[in-house]
């Protein structure tokens, strides 16, 4: 629950320590009741972790998102095809 509160507050993913499948399932089931957060298991056994992140997180405002594709449709080549 602390991870869910932190994820909602910071709007960033909170990654928990590696744990057993049983423990991960308990966390998924418990946090499924919270409508504002999502959970996902990530990694390879035995180092699988649970990621807790806010559903309200704005992933479009990432630091490195510079909209390189915004003018893709207006591209015109410098040569003519014959």
Region 8-16: mean pLDDT is 89
**CATH number of the domain enclosing 17:** 3.30.1370.50
How high is the pLDDT of residue 8? 87
For residue 79, being part of any structural domain is answered with no
At residue 70 the predicted structure's pLDDT band, cuts being 50, 70 and 90, is low
Whether pLDDT at 61 is above 60: no
Query: How many distinct structural domains can be found in the chain?
Result: 1
Contact at 8 Å (CB) between 51 and 21? no
Q: Can you give the residue range of the structural domain that contains 28?
A: 2-56
Q: Is residue 7 part of a domain?
A: yes
Q: What value does the mean pLDDT take over residues 50-55?
A: 90
Res. 78: pLDDT tops 70 = no
- On whether residue 69 sits in a domain, the answer given is no
């Amino acid at each position: 629950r602390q991870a869910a509160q932190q994820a909602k507050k910071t709007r960033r993913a909170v990654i928990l320590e590696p744990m057993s499948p049983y423990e991960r399932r308990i966390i998924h089931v418990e946090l499924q009741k919270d409508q504002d957060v999502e959970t996902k298991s990530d990694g390879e056994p035995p180092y699988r972790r649970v990621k807790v992140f806010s559903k309200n997180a704005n992933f479009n405002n990432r630091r490195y998102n510079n909209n390189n594709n915004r003018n893709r449709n207006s591209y015109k080549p410098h040569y003519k095809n014959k």
